[in-house]
Amino acid sequence: MERTIYRTIKATPGIWGMAALLAAFIAAAGLSVLLIEEEGHIITGMNNQIVWGLPHVFAIFLIVAASGVLNVASISSVFNKKAYKPMARFSALLAMTVLLGGLAVLVLDLGRPDRLIIAMTKYNFTSIFAWNMLLYNGFFAIVGFYLTVQMTKGLSHKVHKAAGVAAFTWRLILTTGTGSIFGWLVARPGYDAAIMAPLFIAMSFAFGLALFIVVTLTLFKLDGRIFGDKLMERMGSLLGVFAAAVLYFTIVQHLTAMYAQEHAGIERFILRDGGIYTTLFWLVQVVLGGVVPMALVFLRPSRQSTILASILVIIGGLAQLYVIVVGGQAYPLEIFPGYEVLEGFNEGMVNAYSPSIYELALGLGGVALALLAAGVGAKILRVLPTNLSDANYPD
């Protein structure tokens, strides 16, 4: 193996162009925030029935993916896979910036971002949301320390491994907390399931690795660096395994729900009668986001297959979270189980929701913020290797 050398990225025209494009998305998101702040959430598609809309889909995707992005670093330090070690630094940096982008969307969608001060100073420890605030802060601290350890010369292998194990453990706890937000909401039949925690962990593996492949390969391409085909194919095979895991837990989730009579209604809604949610589930989530990527990386392994599979996993992941987050709210609440409500507000009606351009701009702005922050970090810090050619890939 050749010696790994880390260098900051050069300010090439391609890098400047990408930075300008991301800045434009961030500016559009900022404008959307100001308009929502001024006019209120009435200009969005959200209402008093569906309070988590498209911005939350993007935010949760980024939060879940942040945990999975760190998996590349964990493979090298915790599981001692040397081929992934040159990418460990950027894995840690990207994990922090992706989490930053996801949390930014959540904060700016509140309508009153200043109220975050209350959440930061007054903790309700009976709330899973308060627990996640601690998990997010801990993630930044532990992964930041992990990155510092990787960039510090002279430290022993034991120190590297201990920091890696701590980061790996915390990311599992973080994703468990995110999945538990839905698993513990017993009032909504679309959420109430213990399988949500392991499902979100599997999703983090797939979404994070797909995002890492796309972002890293883009930076290498723009900076003229080499990314070997053999390593790319190996990462593609791992992505296929993660995509299969997501499909497996999704099947378990729905089979378990169908077995319980109280969830029969929501299962018919998602799997058969849900309109756009049913289409997104079967066509985008299952087929495009799961089956097709697996076929690409296992039946025709190549550089192009891995890239296409990564993009499809990201698209399928967004569709999956849309079905979970929005579809779970669209299905009507059963306020009085076992009784028929003769008069009420919107009782038994499927809740309508159409995302607005402001919500889309806010969500894409969070993605752009995460990517721009990662690019700035790669320009300042030596986190990217100069060469990931096949010569550096141990058979």
pLDDT of residue 393: 57
Nearest to 55 by CA among 23, 29, 35: 29
pLDDT of residue 88: 93
pLDDT of residue 179 exceeding 60: yes
pLDDT of residue 343 exceeding 80: no
Cα-based torsion angle of the residue sequence 164, 165, 167, 173 in order, rounded to the nearest 10 degrees? 160
**pTM for the complete prediction?**
0.94
pLDDT of residue 357 exceeding 90: yes
pLDDT of residue 344: 63
pLDDT digits (tens, 9 = 90+) for 210-255: 999 999 999 999 998 989 899 999 999 999 999 999 999 999 999 9
Per the prediction, the chain carries an average pLDDT of 90
Q: What is the mean pLDDT of residues 167-182?
A: 92
Distance CA 111, CA 243 (A): 35
At 259, is the pLDDT very low, low, confident or very high (cuts 50, 70, 90)? confident
pLDDT of residue 37: 85
Q: Which domains occur in the chain, in start order? A: 6-114+121-332+351-385 (1.20.1630.10)
pLDDT of residue 121: 78
Q: What is the mean pLDDT of residues 133-144?
A: 92
Q: What tokens were used for 318?
A: 């967004």
